[in-house]
Structure 1
Amino acid sequence: MQGKERGVIESNARVGFVGAGKVGTALGELFRSCGIAVSGYSSLLAEDAQAAAEKTASDAYADAAEVVEASDVIFFTVPDGEISNAWKNLVASYGAAACDALFGKIVCHCSGALPAAVLADAAEYGAKAVSVHPLFAISGGGSAQAKIGTALFTLEGDESALATVSALLDVCGVHHREIASSDKPLYHAAAVCASNLAVGLFASAQTMLERCGFGADEARGALRSLFVGNCESIAERGPIDALTGPIERNDAETVVGHLMAFREDPTLLKERDAYTALSRVVVEVAAAKHPERDYSHIAEILRAAR
């Protein structure tokens, strides 16, 4: 940014990454595919920075300070528990020159649970902090760049920096919205319910089929179309319209049969607990779908099963 006033973020801002894992690489690929300049990556493992740089036609840097020097917007794409230390270590590396190095920079992290304020005292150094969370699960296997661009991004932090980050996402055609920092824990819990806990739900179903004599691969394959189809239906139509099954049709006898099967196999205690807890939620969804029906009997059966 030579020859320009300090603190001015150019419309063609260069984006750099401290951390070269799945999230940072996917974001870098997305930005580059949309014509946004990606300066490069630093990582504790030089080979990771090099790999991400090769995928984004950018540079691999020796440390975070080099990323900052080459970038206007810096993403800390490291695990949540390392964001604060990565930022503090960067600031400490500058010593008394921190303000000169960081003035006017926008510093971001991609945690869904943590607020922008985890980049402590960014404003003291003339930097502006933003949290930028893609509501998307990156589990590896193939490029996530094309898919991450379909996700909702939630933003929170410095108001003026939000405008710049929003503009970058607009270039990519990415849907985004702001969220209050105080809402981030509940927001992230919602994301976990729809993503990570769905893994636990599927694992429970697979375990139950294995108890019925299915092999692990066979059970996973048998559940695939049911699980994927139901997830698509819920996402497209909403939980009320998508709901089917014994609770929806007020079939208490079938629910009792399920609970009896759990009692007969004490090794399925976790699966039983998951079944009863989620079934109580499903009762409320069913009642919203069919307000004319009385679900009190099933609700009482599930309460007694605790």
Structure 2
Amino acid sequence: MGVQVVIVGAGRVGPALARLLTRAGYRLLGVAAPSADAARRACDYAGAGRPVQDAADLTREADLTFLATPDDVIGNVCRALADAGAFRPGSVVAHCSGALPSEVLAPARPAGAHVGSLHPLQSFASAEEAVRVLPGCRCAIEGDPEAVGLLRTVAEDIGGRPFVIRPEAKPLYHAAAVFASNYLVAVEAAAVRLAEAAGIPRAEALDALLPLIRGTVSNIERVGIPECLTGPIARGDAETVRRHCTEIARHAADLLPLYTLLGRQTVRVAVARGGLDEAAVHALEEALRPAPGPSPAHP
């Protein structure tokens, strides 16, 4: 008999895991969700398992329980299941949150369960997209040694590429993911605003910028950081940077602090890349220096 799995949660990740694990030969006991319809749809999507609303009906028999619920309820769900005696000794209880460490599952330990987390380092809008992109995706794993061992195998069996991090490093790991994904969206939103200020219609601005975005990501993958850096800061062109600051202050003043902050970070990348002398670095730093605020009023 293969590893017996229960999925708690029927959002995007839960049904995707159910389908991928079933495909990989794991025995899906079922999917639990507050909505009976959602649990049924998840089992139908996986092609296996019993839909239930009370996860304890299934988890007592599970070798592996995934709590694929929203982050803010993972701890409470785990505690409720532990209080119901729903975890068996030697089983593994895991969650899929990028932000939370496995310690949030500590209530499962008194029953003899091992706790861990498996976080796919990818974003997806639906279970179908998750099934498509999870194979080949890097997966961060942390937790008790027994849990890490099983979760590493699980990640590999569904086509993932696992790596192990320290539980206490989870916040920094997640911050890195936020920089790489969420903040990229914020930066591109700023780029679209500036393009609009330059007279380019919004839809056309995004269409014009997308090839540049794709090219930059491709260069990061192909050449690496810092070698892929281009643009005025990489060239030491402080005058262009100064003109940017002047026009941003005039047309989108709230974006100027973001521009100068990212500019100063880009100077550091450019220095690591090589090719800037001390005078060029000083000129860039001066061009990116935050403008002084209003002088305080005198009594």
TM-score using structure 1 length: 0.88
Contact 2:16 2:127 in 1 (8 A): no
| Counterpart position of 2:63 | 72
CA distance in 2, matches of 1:138, 1:188: 16
CA distance 1:209–1:233, shift in 2 (3 Å): same
Structure 2 alignment gaps of length 5 or more: 293-299
Q: Which range moved further: 149-158 or 42-51?
A: 42-51
Structure 1 alignment gaps of length 5 or more: 1-9
Question: SS of the residue aligned with 2:289?
Answer: helix
Task: Give the alignment of 1:1-306 within 5 angstroms.
Answer: 12-58=2-48, 59-92=50-83, 94=84, 98=85, 101-140=87-126, 142-265=128-251, 268-294=252-278, 295-305=281-291
Instruction: String of CA shifts for 1:126-149, please: whole Å, max 9, x gaps.
Output: 111111111111233852212112
Q: What letter corresponds to residue 186 of structure 1 in structure 2?
A: L
Kindly state the Cα deviation for residue 19 of structure 1 after the two structures are TM-superposed. Answer: 0.7
Instruction: String of CA shifts for 1:168-191, please: whole Å, max 9, x gaps.
Output: 223234211211111111111111
- Aligned-residue Cα RMSD (Å) equals 1.9
Kindly state the Cα deviation for residue 82 of structure 1 after the two structures are TM-superposed. Answer: 1.1
Kindly state the Cα deviation for residue 62 of structure 1 after the two structures are TM-superposed. Answer: 2.0
Contact 1:276 1:305 in 2 (8 A): no
Question: SS of the residue aligned with 1:264?
Answer: helix
CA distance 1:40–1:269, shift in 2 (3 Å): farther
CA distance in 1, matches of 2:101, 2:66: 14
Instruction: String of CA shifts for 1:103-152, please: whole Å, max 9, x gaps.
Output: 23211011112111101232211111111111111233852212112211
Contact 1:17 1:67 in 2 (8 A): no
Detail structure 1 runs of 4+ shifted over 6 Å in the superposition: none
CA distance in 2, matches of 1:142, 1:130: 25
Q: Which range moved further: 280-289 or 112-121?
A: 112-121
CA distance in 2, matches of 1:42, 1:86: 11
Question: SS of the residue aligned with 1:26?
Answer: helix
Q: Which range moved further: 123-132 or 38-47?
A: 38-47
Instruction: String of CA shifts for 1:198-240, please: whole Å, max 9, x gaps.
Output: 1111111111122223333222211111111211211332221
Kindly state the Cα deviation for residue 28 of structure 1 after the two structures are TM-superposed. Answer: 2.3
Contact 1:46 1:62 in 2 (8 A): yes
CA distance 1:300–1:21, shift in 2 (3 Å): same
CA distance in 2, matches of 1:211, 1:120: 52
Q: Which range moved further: 291-300 or 51-60?
A: 291-300
Contact 1:30 1:149 in 2 (8 A): no
Contact 2:6 2:62 in 1 (8 A): yes
| Counterpart position of 2:297 | none
Q: What letter corresponds to residue 123 of structure 1 in structure 2?
A: R
CA distance in 1, matches of 2:37, 2:277: 61
